[in-house]
Structure 1
Amino acid sequence: MGSVIGDVLPLAVGVAISPIPIIAVILMLLSKRAGGASAGFGVGWIVGILVATGIFLLLSGGIDTADSDNPSAMSSWVKVVLGVLLLLLAARQWRSRNANAEPPKWMQAIDELNFVKSTGLGFALAAINPKNLLLCVSAGVFIGTANISGGEQVVALVVYTLLAGSSVLVPVVAYAVAADRMRGTLDGLKVWLQANNATVMSVLLLVIGAVVLGKGFGGLF
């Protein structure tokens, strides 16, 4: 199982340092409904990662049992396709790095989010947002096609989810413990991430896409 954790670790890091959810949770922690909104967002974020990854883990579990002369080739080709998609997404992010785009409407309305609405937003950013979804799909494929038991797959899924969700959970917990001390740090981090969002994501997706693509080609040759 250790090798599977090693395979999904870069993917978990990719989700964890994705700037948009970090910016979102920081804005919630600085809003007038900080406690409820940030807690809801954390719950939705974790559940979204778990559901998205779990679904593709189950779907990919049947890949190696397909009627084929070389069943492992199919899972390798899936990884190649995912790697290419991640590289294309990295290129798109890099081209948009200098664009002065307006913040999304949901980000402008964060002060009005309650627990329920922020939970839905967290779930959407984790399970529907294309960047994070591709990373969760890749993790699900890695775990689902690994030669490990069902129990070990569950452990790998939980480890991946906790690592991927840590960047949202840690600020929420830290703010609950020491709200006054966190405000200055959170505000500075928010400004930096907003200015460098596209660059961070493009480099991140480039590295992870290359890793996934390499794993796919490694299984073919």
Structure 2
Amino acid sequence: MDNLKILPLAITMMAGPQIMSAVIFATAQKAVRISLAFLVGVLMATSLGVAVMLGVATGLGGAVDFGSSDNKSSAGHVIQYVLVALLILAALRNWRKRETVEPPKWLHALMSADARKAFRTGLLVILVMPSDLMVMLTVGIHLEQAKDSYVDALPFIALTVAVGAVPLLLRVLLGRRAASAMPSLRDWMNNNSWLVNIIVCLIFVVLILA
């Protein structure tokens, strides 16, 4: 598997509501405990999701030849091009509705979350987000094309968790400065969720086509 193509997808995994959740938890009163619970959920969800998507890709590979990762006309690349088209449509939809788009109501509820809820959130922001499912399917297809095993996806899984840990690390390392700055970042991301969604879609498109 070409890690130069796969590892950057970890950034897309945590972009959007995922990193917004991480920022919210990093501003909580018990930030370390709650954020760690969230990251455990992210780790378990990503590990499970990649395993399932690798199984899907392997099953499809038995019926459809994905071809080589270097062959731009292979079935594997055709699937990725379909994903690109869907992402572009999603970005356009967010742009058209930017005046009325509001952040998900569940994001506000996270401000009073405990560790158990943070753990569930870590699971759900990975396993129910269409963008993350598409990323993990892309990883599964790359693994199948290269005839690699699940073990080869471990760096991707680790980097996904590492990206999610950035807000907590900033909170711990920068102390009061981060604690005072993060609420402003959290509010900006909530108020501009449409822009965050568009950026996520475009990053994913670039990474797929690169």
* Fold equivalence (TM over 0.5): yes
Of 57, 62, 65, the residue aligned with 1:65 is 62
Specify the alignment match of 1:116 in structure 2. Answer: 116
Residues 38 and 118, structure 2, Cα contact 8 Å, conserved in 1: yes
User: Given the alignment of the two structures, is residue 201 of structure 1 paired with residue 201 of structure 2, yes or no?
Assistant: no
Number of equivalenced pairs: 204
Specify the alignment match of 2:20 in structure 1. Answer: 23
Q: Identity over the aligned pairs, expressed in percent?
A: 22
Measured against aligned partners, the alpha-carbon deviations of 1:32-83 in whole angstroms (never above 9, x if no partner) come to: 34233221111112222222122111221243333x6x65243233223222
Of 28, 51, 55, the residue aligned with 1:54 is 51
Which runs of 5 or more residues in structure 1 are unaligned? 216-221
Superposition TM-score, scaled by structure 1 size: 0.78
Query: Which stretches of structure 1, 4 residues or longer, exceed 4 Å deviation after superposition?
Result: none
RMSD: 2.5
User: What secondary structure does 1:97 align onto?
Assistant: coil
Equivalences for 1:37-186 in 2 at 5 Å? 37-66=34-63, 72=67, 73-101=74-102, 103-148=103-148, 150=149, 153-155=150-152, 157-186=153-182
Task: Give me the whole-angstrom Cα distance separating, in 2, the residues matched to 1:208 and 1:29.
Answer: 25
Residues 50 and 161, structure 1, Cα contact 8 Å, conserved in 2: yes
Superposition TM-score, scaled by structure 2 size: 0.81
State the Cα distance separating 1:154 from its structure 2 match: 1.4
Measured against aligned partners, the alpha-carbon deviations of 1:171-220 in whole angstroms (never above 9, x if no partner) come to: 223434554332023123223322333223213313423553x48xxxxx
Task: Give me the whole-angstrom Cα distance separating, in 2, the residues matched to 1:166 and 1:85.
Answer: 27
Task: Give me the whole-angstrom Cα distance separating, in 1, the residues matched to 2:107 and 2:54.
Answer: 31
Which runs of 5 or more residues in structure 2 are unaligned? 68-73
Specify the alignment match of 1:187 in structure 2. Answer: 183
Task: Give me the whole-angstrom Cα distance separating, in 2, the residues matched to 1:87 and 1:113.
Answer: 34
Residues 33 and 111, structure 1, Cα contact 8 Å, conserved in 2: no
State the Cα distance separating 1:100 from its structure 2 match: 4.9
Measured against aligned partners, the alpha-carbon deviations of 1:17-45 in whole angstroms (never above 9, x if no partner) come to: x1322222222222234233221111112
